[in-house]
């Protein structure tokens, strides 16, 4: 089976991990004979695309807008008539065989799903996060990891102000989740939900998703030549979003405790706060900002390992697989799907999330490990990634899934 594959995502540029997966998936399936077609939201940073005039209008929560625009955007969060109308125009011009949905929450909304169902287009969706279960998508609030909304108890989102500590924002998103749950808009219109980690599969089952809707297909990473280790001026690297759930305060404290140089690559809402903390406790941390492909590769080349200190239920982080592909061992928190990707003591090390003392010991241990030992550990991770998480295995599994529908 092949034909036109419609890929849908909120952003049409590489903003975060799910956006990287959106493009990588379309590229991999194109090599298998599928013709790519995209639908997204208009955004000034989007890559140029022939049909971007048919993208949904931009919904932006980070800039000041009028009261009327705020009400309009609030309505689009729950059910975007604009996105549905624009997609209808796109489908009138193209015969689509499969629709693959990535992240559509808030910006596109599930309004497009019944349209696809009505046209008898099978819908596959990848669960990149926990939004289908938890209104704030992270199962994390100021009290830590939280599953209070289980069983449709979305009022807890308002109770704990889970959306940016805002009462009104939490009320809106709780309402969104309640409406989508009551009308079963995802469960009734998504043919198969792809979960990239066994942890997420278990969580979705626990929260009431039917087993026959779930398909475990792990993420994939391209094979790359391994990067040689630097003999001096080494450091441990974090690359990703700078936000609360990533555990970067714990990382900075651990760096200070162990006097281990840590480089942090990325941007995000916690950037200024992390800079201030690093300065305050005199941590040997260097902030690199956002790095694109070649610059990131140079940063990885100078590292002796990478670290992922997350404090939320991570899915199947691509940063771990990318680190392995470069031949770097990984230090990761024992939470969510991270332990599935780290063979403790073999391809990296794990630690209790939120524990700067244990992390400090690991940072010091890895930093002092001879290059030959680090290279062996990174080589084992690279071999495992090539064997288990290669693009061919991914496309074969996805092709098999598409053929079932």
Would you say 382 and 364 are in contact if contact means Cβ atoms under 8 Å apart? no
Query: What pLDDT was estimated at residue 68?
Result: 67
Going by DSSP bridges, is the β-strand pair 348-351/192-195 parallel, antiparallel, or unpaired?
unpaired
| Predicted local distance difference test score (pLDDT) of residue 71 | 74
Beta strand 214-216 with 285-289 is: unpaired
pLDDT in tens, 71-130: 787 888 999 999 999 999 999 999 999 999 999 998 999 999 999 999 999 999 999 999
| Tokens (6 digits) for 97 | 């065989």
pLDDT exceeds 70 at position 253: yes
Closest CA to 250 of 334, 339, 134: 334
Write down the pLDDT at residue 392. Answer: 97
* pLDDT at residue number 64: 59
The upper half-sphere exposure of residue 85, i.e. CA atoms within 13 Å in the direction of its Cβ, equals 7
Q: How far is CA 165 from the centre of its chain?
A: 22
pLDDT of 42 higher than 90 = yes
Bridge partners of 298, per DSSP, are: none
Q: Is it the case that residue 2 has pLDDT exceeding 90?
A: no
Reported confidence tier of residue 60, pLDDT bands at 50, 70, 90: confident
Report pLDDT for 75. Answer: 85
Continuous segment of H or E residues that includes residue 404? helix 391-404
Percent of the chain with pLDDT over 90: 89
What's phi and psi for 159, nearest 5 deg? -55, -40
Per-residue pLDDT, averaged over 150-167, amounts to 94
pLDDT in tens, 330-369: 999 999 999 999 999 999 999 999 999 999 999 999 999 9
For residues 213-239, average pLDDT:
93
Mean pLDDT of 203-209: 97
pLDDT for 271-283, tens place per residue? 999 999 999 999 9
371-394: per-residue pLDDT in tens?
A: 999 999 999 999 999 999 999 999
CA distances 173 to 169, 179, 342, 355, Å, are 6, 10, 34, 31
Name all domains of the chain by residue range, CATH numbers in brackets.
4-128+191-219+390-404 (3.40.50.2000), 136-180 (no CATH), 235-388 (3.40.50.2000)
How far CA 96 is from CA of 36, 116, 119, 308, in Å, comes to 10, 9, 9, 38
Which pTM value belongs to this model?
A: 0.94
pLDDT at residue 67 is higher than 70: no
288's enclosing H/E stretch is strand 285-289
As a dihedral over the C-alpha atoms of residue 6, residue 138, residue 191, residue 404, rounded to 10 degrees, the angle is: 80
Neighbours of 233 (CB within 10 A): 7
**With contact defined as beta carbons under 8 Å apart, do 78 and 59 qualify?**
no
Distance CA 149, CA 247 (A): 23
Collapsing DSSP to helix, strand or coil, 195 comes out as: strand
Q: Can you list the alpha helix ranges (DSSP code H) found in 265-355?
A: 271-281, 293-301, 318-325
> pLDDT tens digits for 114-129?
999 999 999 999 999 9
Number of other CB atoms surrounding residue 30 within 10 Å: 14
- As a whole number, mean pLDDT of residues 17-23 equals 92
Q: Name the pLDDT band for 65 (thresholds 50, 70, 90).
A: low
Distance from C-alpha of 306 to C-alpha of 314, rounded to nearest angstrom:
16
Q: Name the token pair of 114.
A: 């019944």
Task: Give the residue-averaged pLDDT of 13-40.
Answer: 94
């Amino acid at each position: 089976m092949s034909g036109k594959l419609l890929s849908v995502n909120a952003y049409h540029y590489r903003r975060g991990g799910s956006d990287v997966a959106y493009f990588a998936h379309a590229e991999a399936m194109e090599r298998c004979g599928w013709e790519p077609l995209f639908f997204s939201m208009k955004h000034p940073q989007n890559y140029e695309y022939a049909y971007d005039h048919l993208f949904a209008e931009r919904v932006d929560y980070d800039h000041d807008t009028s009261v009327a625009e705020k009400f309009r955007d609030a309505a689009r969060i729950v059910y975007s008539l604009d996105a549905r109308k624009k997609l209808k125009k796109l489908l009138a011009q193209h015969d689509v065989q499969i629709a693959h949905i990535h992240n559509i929450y808030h910006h596109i909304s599930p309004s497009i799903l019944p349209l696809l169902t009505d046209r008898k287009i099978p819908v596959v969706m990848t669960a990149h996060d926990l939004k289908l279960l938890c209104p704030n998508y992270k199962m994390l609030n100021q009290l830590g990891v939280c599953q209070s909304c289980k069983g449709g108890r979305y009022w807890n989102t308002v109770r704990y102000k889970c959306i940016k500590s805002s009462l009104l924002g939490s009320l809106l998103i709780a309402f969104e989740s309640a409406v989508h749950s009551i009308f079963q808009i995802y469960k009734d219109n998504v043919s198969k939900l792809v979960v990239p980690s066994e942890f997420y599969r278990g969580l979705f089952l626990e929260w009431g998703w039917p087993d026959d809707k779930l398909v475990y297909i792990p993420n994939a990473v391209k094979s790359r030549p391994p990067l040689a280790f630097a003999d001096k001026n080494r450091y441990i690297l974090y690359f990703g979003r700078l936000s609360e759930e990533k555990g970067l305060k714990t990382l900075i404290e651990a760096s200070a405790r162990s006097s281990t140089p840590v480089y942090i690559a990325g941007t995000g809402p916690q950037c200024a706060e992390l800079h201030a903390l690093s300065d305050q406790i005199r941590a040997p941390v260097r902030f690199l900002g956002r790095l694109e492909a070649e610059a990131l590769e140079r940063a990885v080349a100078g590292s002796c390992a990478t670290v992922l200190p997350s404090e939320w239920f991570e899915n199947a982080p691509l940063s771990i697989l990318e680190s392995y592909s470069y031949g770097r061992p990984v230090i990761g928190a024992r939470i969510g799907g991270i332990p599935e990707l780290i063979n403790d003591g073999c391809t990296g090390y794990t630690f209790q999330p939120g524990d700067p003392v244990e992390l400090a010991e690991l940072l010091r241990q890895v930093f002092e490990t001879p290059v030959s030992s680090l290279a062996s550990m990174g080589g084992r991770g690279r071999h495992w990634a090539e064997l288990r998480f290669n693009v061919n295995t991914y496309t074969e599994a996805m092709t098999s899934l598409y053929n079932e529908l």
